[in-house]
Structure 1
Amino acid sequence: MPRLIAAPFLNDRLVLRPGSSSGLKIPPLKYAELQHLSEHGGNVPEWLSVAVQKQWALALAGPLRDVVLVRDPSPYGYVRASYEINKGCDYDCPHCFLGQKKFEGITAQQKLRLLEIMRDAGVVWLQITGGEPLIDRHFPLVYQSAQDLGMMVAISSNGSQLHKPAILDLLTRHRPYRLTLSVYGATAETYDGFTRNRGAFERFSRGLAAAQNNGLPVRLNVIVGEHNAHELEEMKALAQRHGFPHQVYTNMSPTIDGGAEPLPTQAEDYLRKRSPFAGCNAGHTFFHADPFAKVSICKVGRDPQIDLLTEGVEGLRRLGGIADSLQLRTGGCSGCQLSSTCWTCRPLAKLYQEAKAPRRTYCQHPDGR
């Protein structure tokens, strides 16, 4: 894993440190200098050494290529991606938007090829998710390989595996950019009941303590449904005791296949009014890859997909057009005169409609006018 990464990010040029949430922005000419020094075996320039010492108290000297991975600019413009390494999970939460959670995917070598394509696409920030990513047998290989390719890696997990020495050692030696953990209860009875997994709260608690003791960059997602809403304040207090920032999520979505199963799990009294949808970069500077390396604009708008292992990085040139077509107001939303105030993107609204959800769950104009 490189000590530092120099990479283009949209119109900026950044110097990043794996495992750190801070970075340096440098002028394009300085970035070009780093490219030249890296290609020709030059030493760390003094200006970079001074800046790195000030930013991270890190001494940097010697051949630049030995301590800084200088990423090549990409013509594709994709700087972020998420990778659903496996849909399999050790929990059976009723609110899960994945629906059927099967343990299946591609080979280790194909996963490494996928990462290389992401690198060629320009991806700097990569989120590894699932299912539960830490139970995938190839997770350690994928995680470390992504860092070796010059990506800042975030992980979304339920935390059930964090207490295991092999996982803990991996994440402390090669620190993630962020580790986002979901919280489903503040007591064993509620947590185990929500996840439908006996002993889950005990494993989660051990993982949370291990993450805190090792200073891992944890952020907690407090998931609120009808079966654990009574422990909302206790879940927030749990986050505060550990010193971890947290967010509260109350609105459940249909499954990625348009199934309505997660919707009845919502706690009606805790649902939040969403802000108007103001557009997003899905499909233009961001994409999502499923366990079979099929790429879509995001986790919600999954159809149509591009097979990256078959088409290679060139296949991504079609993704922007797919994104624009998916955002068109069609079906039950066609002709709406109030779309500028809508708080649901078109792909998500389509899933609600396929789930035959009440209009009020995805549209703030329930009378249909």
Structure 2
Amino acid sequence: MAGTHKLIVSPYLGEYVVLQPGSEGGIKISESKYQELRHASLAPSWFTSAVRTFWGADIGEGPLTDTVLVKPESPYGYVRATYELNLGCNYDCEHCYLGLKRFSGLSWPEREKLLYILRDAGVLWLQLTGGEPMIDRLFPEVYGLAYELGMMLTILSNGSRLANPGVLELLTNCRPHDITLSMYGATEESYDGLTRRRGSYRLFIKGLAAAREASLPLRLSLIVTNRNEHELGLMQAMADEWGIPHNSFVNMSPTIYGGAETLPSQSADHLRKRKVFTGCNAGHTFFHVDPHGMASICKIGRDPQIPLIEEGVDGLARLGAIADSLLLRQGGCTGCTLSGSCGTCMPLVTLYRKAKSPLQNYCQHREREEVNQQ
């Protein structure tokens, strides 16, 4: 059974925070108060008062370890990670960036080892994804141990398994920080057409209703393609009626193998100009792990990889240098002098170029004289 803690106290990027699984926000504390909590047997009065004021929660007067998990400091500096449990999925969405969605992954002993590696790396926020993570046979075990180890969990899902009693009980007892559900249309015709699975819309509605009934923290990602673009307004209206925060996902990318089969689903009218890419923390405070325990800087920049099961947490020491080499523009796209205002990171540019994508899909400069003169 997953841990029973109600609160997590943790280092976070040089600071110290108190978080409650399933709740927004948190409390920032000083290093001295963090150290006090690390060694306290009972909750100090300032702590119980702060928790009561912020969350309206009473943690009681028993041993601190009964309700509070205090995470130790890690020398590695990683605070976020994503973990693909499995690339397999029960849908076959025409826009999916995973391409070949093969069912394969680690055994339980290897997954258990991986989760302890993530803990030792300092990971506080862990995103569980796939494929569809909730159809993975070891999802309950992975989720339960990650929760027990003091990770704030987020889940990316299509919602098709949310009404499953076992899954619903797990998520209700050990609450995630949030669950982001992909929404593929506002009608059964569009939804099932995009997923290429009959009945997927009804599963989504059923899972959504069950999650709302259980008061689980939900978000919606409204997937906009040329198949359902006419329903975006209706999808937004439905999300508003449900009272669920939402955003629109509109830019289709090639597959992780550089395949172009996803690109025809792009809605030309909804191709969004990206913000100027000025760098990110991929590989430095954040990393990605695929179903085989291979760590990379992110979901897009998957090569080179580090075999975590073989090398353990010390293997992550190489990720920073890998990130710096992958994210450098190295002269830009064939010498483009506009790279300083480009909105696409180089790993994603590489996939678009492998897919021989039309330039407008990833280069949104409107004045290309300098590009064309190269």
**TM-score interval, normalised by the smaller of the two chains:** over 0.9
Q: Does the 8 A contact of 1:329 with 1:346 survive in 2? A: yes
Q: Distance in 2 between matches of 1:53 and 1:330?
A: 52
Q: Which amino acid aligns with 2:281?
A: N
Larger deviation: 78-87 or 265-274?
265-274
**Aligned-residue offset at 1:267:** 0.9
Residue 15 of structure 1 pairs with residue 14 of structure 2: no
**Aligned-residue offset at 1:96:** 0.3
The one-character-per-residue Cα deviations of 1:136-156 (angstroms, maximum 9, x if unpaired) are: 010011001101000000000
The 5 Å alignment of 1:31-110 reads 31-37=34-40, 42-60=41-59, 61-110=61-110
Q: Does the 8 A contact of 1:329 with 1:335 survive in 2? A: no
Q: Distance in 2 between matches of 1:111 and 1:176?
A: 19
**Aligned-residue offset at 1:330:** 3.7
**Aligned-residue offset at 1:338:** 2.2
SS of aligned partner of 2:170: helix
Residue equivalent to 2:298: 298
Q: What is the root-mean-square deviation of aligned Cα atoms in Å?
A: 1.2
Q: Distance in 2 between matches of 1:223 and 1:66?
A: 42
The 5 Å alignment of 1:103-182 reads 103-182=103-182
Residue 201 of structure 1 pairs with residue 204 of structure 2: no
**Aligned-residue offset at 1:332:** 6.2
Q: Which amino acid aligns with 1:35?
A: R
Q: Distance in 2 between matches of 1:233 and 1:175?
A: 31
The 5 Å alignment of 1:275-290 reads 275-290=275-290
Q: Distance in 2 between matches of 1:169 and 1:342?
A: 45
Unaligned runs of 5+ in 2: none
**Aligned-residue offset at 1:364:** 2.9
Residue equivalent to 1:234: 234
Q: Distance in 1 between matches of 2:195 and 2:131?
A: 13
Q: Distance in 2 between matches of 1:3 and 1:249?
A: 33
Length, aligned pairs only:
365
SS of aligned partner of 1:259: coil
Q: Does the 8 A contact of 2:255 with 2:351 survive in 1? A: yes
Q: Does the 8 A contact of 2:271 with 2:361 survive in 1? A: no
Q: Which amino acid aligns with 2:191?
A: Y
Q: What percentage of residue pairs aligned between the two structures are identical?
A: 57
**Aligned-residue offset at 1:336:** 3.1
- TM-score, L = length of structure 1: 0.97
Q: Which amino acid aligns with 1:26?
A: I
Q: Does the 8 A contact of 2:254 with 2:263 survive in 1? A: yes
The change in CA–CA distance for 1:311 and 1:76 in structure 2 (over 3 A counts) is: same
SS of aligned partner of 1:86: coil
Q: Distance in 1 between matches of 2:298 and 2:338?
A: 24
The 5 Å alignment of 1:185-334 reads 185-330=185-330, 333=333
**Aligned-residue offset at 1:331:** 7.7
**Aligned-residue offset at 1:271:** 1.2
- TM-score, L = length of structure 2: 0.95
Unaligned runs of 5+ in 1: none
The change in CA–CA distance for 1:331 and 1:85 in structure 2 (over 3 A counts) is: farther
Q: Which amino acid aligns with 2:256?
A: I
Q: Distance in 1 between matches of 2:88 and 2:213?
A: 28
Q: Which amino acid aligns with 2:364?
A: Q
